[in-house]
Amino acid sequence: MPLHAVEDAFKEALAEGVFPGAVVLAAKGEEILCHAAFGARSLVPEKTPMRPDTIFDLASLTKPLATAPAVMLLVRDKKIRLDERVTRFFPNFGVFGKTYVTFRQLLSHASGLPAWKAYYEDIIRDQRAGKVNFVASRAAKHYVFEQIHREKVASTPGTQALYSDLGYMLLGETVEEITGWTLDRYCFDKIYRAVGLRSTSFIDLTQLRARRLEPI
């Protein structure tokens, strides 16, 4: 496909509202054939243009690109089994109908856990109340994990699929509990660096304050 056809396709997608912006890079070997930005990288609170060097937040793709592969490595190394109970590692999780939830159910969004909960509101409130840099703290992360452990199921585990952020957050906690590493460090060392992904990483929230970064 000619490169101008690629650019036309992106422009058409923008005009149709498929996405607000995008960056395309096409290369052959070491030669970059096309590297262009289209549309906007943010729409609120103000519209800002996309740039070729824009770093994208993979958001929910963290599940298939980080958490799930990390868990699969633990399965490969026989650290966990897919059909064993989560309560083996987190006994307090087995309340409100969650006693028999398995790692397979977490991975397949069939654990019965709710889709999401606004735990961040409590964390932001505490930081505004005086807990300096609480958002980036280990205590805040553990607070979220504890809330997930105490959650009631939205449906009987194993009976239906409900896309759940909570389930994958719990899987991330499992990786950290077993390896002794933070999820970001484990993924970088065991997955990204291993396959040569030099620019894929997690956002270091501690740097938001130290370097005065402003996420878009």
pLDDT band at 2; cut points 50, 70, 90: low
Total residues found in the chain within this entry = 216
Q: Greatest CA span in the chain, whole angstroms?
A: 58
Q: Is the pLDDT of residue 132 over 60?
A: yes
Q: CB-based contacts of 190: which residues, under 8 Å, 6+ apart?
A: 70, 73
Q: Which residue has the higher pLDDT, 210 or 16?
A: 16
Among the ranges 41-55, 86-100, 190-204, which has the highest mean pLDDT value? 86-100
Q: What is the mean pLDDT of the chain?
A: 90
Q: Which domains does the chain have, with CATH numbers?
A: 3-49 (no CATH), 59-210 (3.40.710.10)
Q: d(Cα 177, Cα 90) in Å, to the nearest integer? A: 9
Share of the chain above pLDDT 90, in %: 69
Q: d(Cα 184, Cα 32) in Å, to the nearest integer? A: 30
Q: Which residue has the higher pLDDT, 26 or 114?
A: 114
Note the pTM of the prediction, 2 decimals: 0.81
Angle between helices 68-76 and 165-179 (to 10 degrees): 40
Q: Is the pLDDT of residue 66 over 50?
A: yes
Q: Is the pLDDT of residue 216 over 70?
A: no
Residue type, 132: V
Q: CB-based contacts of 156: which residues, under 8 Å, 6+ apart?
A: 97, 112
Q: Is the pLDDT of residue 207 over 70?
A: no
Q: Is the pLDDT of residue 158 over 80?
A: yes
Which of 89, 87, 96, 104 has its CA nearest to residue 151? 96
Judge contact between 154 and 101, C-beta under 8 A. Answer: no
Judge contact between 45 and 14, C-beta under 8 A. Answer: no
Q: d(Cα 128, Cα 124) in Å, to the nearest integer? A: 6
The average pLDDT across 83-97 equals: 96
Q: d(Cα 19, Cα 119) in Å, to the nearest integer? A: 28
What's the pLDDT at 74? 98
